[in-house]
Structure 1
Amino acid sequence: MEPIEEQIAHLTRIVDDLSEVVARQERELALMTRRVQLLLEREATREVDQGGSVPLGDERPPHW
């Protein structure tokens, strides 16, 4: 019975560690997503300031 309890304890620790990793990655992904959004907004503003039009996310380039 003792080997099974040890294995359960080991697997529980692994699950807890992986849970922490996933939670950290979720926070990092949310931060990166926000930063990309800010960069896109900044670039759109720069484009408008230079006399261009506001780029649309689903707009295809003219060569398509």
Structure 2
Amino acid sequence: MFNVPYLLSFLSRTITLQRGDIISSGTLFGVGMGRNPQVWLKDGDVTEIAIENIGLLTTTYQAETD
């Protein structure tokens, strides 16, 4: 949806980006809908982002409650 130069420009308007900062932009809305069968994140799902020699970021998803 947005290219890398645009994302960097947009983000740098409000925060100071430092060497080594990571910008995780995800995927376009509806990617899971286009699969057969459809795939959606659900309560308890876990994603991991690993960068060699830096570390691992683990996120566990929790369903919204009203």
Q: How would you bin the TM-score normalised by the shorter chain?
A: under 0.3
More helix by share: 1
Structure with bigger gyration radius: 1
Of structures 1 and 2, the one with the larger relative CO (CA 8 A, separation 6+) is 2
TM, length-normalised to structure 2: 0.22
More strand by share: 2
